[in-house]
Amino acid sequence: MIVDASFDQPLVGYAIGRSFGGAVQRNRMRRRLRVLLGGQADRLRPGLYLFGAQPSLTTSSPEQLSSAVDNLVATIEKRYE
């Protein structure tokens, strides 16, 4: 993550490699992450963020993925308090 005062909001990118699966699986995960992180945007400081996903997440339930995203955002918050 890059914290920069010139940003007025968090800008998020997604890095989901081919080992994750085909284009359909990668795009589906990118959409799921976009929705979950969009709801957490007010918890992130302005700056650049790059999120990735492990192939094991393809079988995760929506609740499990949501919990993983919540934990990740909480970790980021603690690190940059």
Q: Which residues, 6 or more positions from 5, have their beta carbon under 8 angstroms from its beta carbon?
A: 46
Q: 47-80, pLDDT tens digit by residue?
A: 889 998 888 888 899 999 999 999 999 999 998 8
* Apex 69 CA angle, 2 and 71, nearest 5: 90
Q: 39-51, pLDDT tens digit by residue?
A: 888 899 888 899 9
CATH topology of domain 2-79: Ribosomal Protein S5; domain 2 (3.30.230)
What are 28's two structure tokens?
Answer: 């589906």
Residue with tokens 């192939």: 55
Whole-number Cα distances in Å, 18 to 23, 40, 54, 65: 8, 26, 11, 20
